[in-house]
Amino acid sequence: MKQAENLAVTVIAKQFNGAGNVLLTLASASGHPLPAFTPGAHIDVTIPDCGKRQYSLCSVAGEAHYQICVRLDEGSGGGSRWLHHQVQTGASLTISAPRNHFPLPQAPRTLLFAAGIGLTPLLVMAEQLAAQDADFTLHLFLKRHDELPFSARLEQLGARVVLHYSSEGDSLRQRVPDDLKRPHDSALVSCGPAGFMDHLHQLALQYGWRADQLHSEKFKASVVTQSVAGDTFAVEIASSGARYTVNADESIAEVLSRAGIDIELSCEQGMCGACITGVLEGEPDHRDEVLSQKERAANDCIVLCCSRARSPLLVLDL
């Protein structure tokens, strides 16, 4: 099984960043510069007894260090609890190089909609747009004032940031921002919990947004994405002609890994994009949260850990 490049880092700062959030600053343990990244990128963090977890990079552009902001989720598999309660300044961590399947789109006007800690990738996008003197607005939805993260950086963005607090009757379900009612020549970029994202996209479509104007990243894979249920089909490795059967209770990634095929895996939930692979023949059944609508329509790539096939055979560019 192919693994992503591993980087050794040291936690050089740990601080609270709004109620329930902890901000970790990571420096290269070797002294070599950490790889550059673009807004929307994330890294994998290896958590003892939990495996890899994905966190968006939220560092200020040009800084030598990485920053991630982690929300404490008591219902999670333990990754956020470990980073909140176990990791201290000076601790060593293993991370991946940055990976970006949520890039900032190019558009005359950009609307950024974030819920809670979904702000992390969008804040870096907003700062880049501000540096370019671009036309944008960042809408941030929170429950209460004490949850506000990155207050100093948001203040620097000025009037281009609009804060919404559901405790004051200003949630997306209670009040639709006027910005969302004007889709012309705009890109709608969003990040947050699945419920927030689904409702936002429903509203956008009601107000005339096209699907190709919507760009998003969810916190967690949906239930259907995590399922590998479906009919049996075959995959063929283009370089060798070898064929393998994928049964209803297993994923393509599991079958190929068992056969010794060298593929890269990380989240294994269709969230990170590590295992995106080219498709030369056949029609994928996309069940990931990574590919855009345009990429799905092209049917020339597939996320191996969760997606399946609508055709009896997929020929993979491996």
Name residues whose C-beta falls within 8 Å of residue 35's C-beta, 6 or more positions apart in sequence: 7, 97, 98
How many residues does this entry show for the chain? 318
Closest CA to 16 of 57, 91, 72, 61: 72
SS3 135: strand
Average pLDDT, the chain: 90
Q: Which pTM was predicted?
A: 0.76
Give dist(CA 145, CA 152) in Å, integer: 14
Q: How many CA atoms lie within 13 A of 36 on its CB side?
A: 3
- pLDDT classification of 62: cutoffs 50, 70, 90: confident
Q: Where are the domains of the chain?
A: 6-96, 109-218, 224-316
pLDDT digits (tens, 9 = 90+) for 216-232: 987 665 544 444 445 89
pLDDT digits (tens, 9 = 90+) for 6-61: 899 999 999 999 999 999 999 999 989 999 999 999 999 999 988 888 999 999 98
For the ranges 69-83, 135-149, 173-187, which has the lowest average pLDDT?
69-83
Residue 51, pLDDT score = 85
- Give the CATH number of domain 6-96: 2.40.30.10
SS3 7: strand
Which CATH architecture describes the domain 224-316? Roll (3.10)
pLDDT digits (tens, 9 = 90+) for 163-197: 999 999 999 989 999 999 999 999 999 999 888 99
Quickly tell me which residue has 């005359």 as its tokens.
Answer: 108
Residue 222, pLDDT score = 52
What number of other Cβ atoms are within 10 A of residue 111's Cβ? 23
For the ranges 112-121, 241-250, 288-297, which has the lowest average pLDDT?
288-297
Q: Does domain 109-218 have CATH number 3.40.50.80?
A: yes
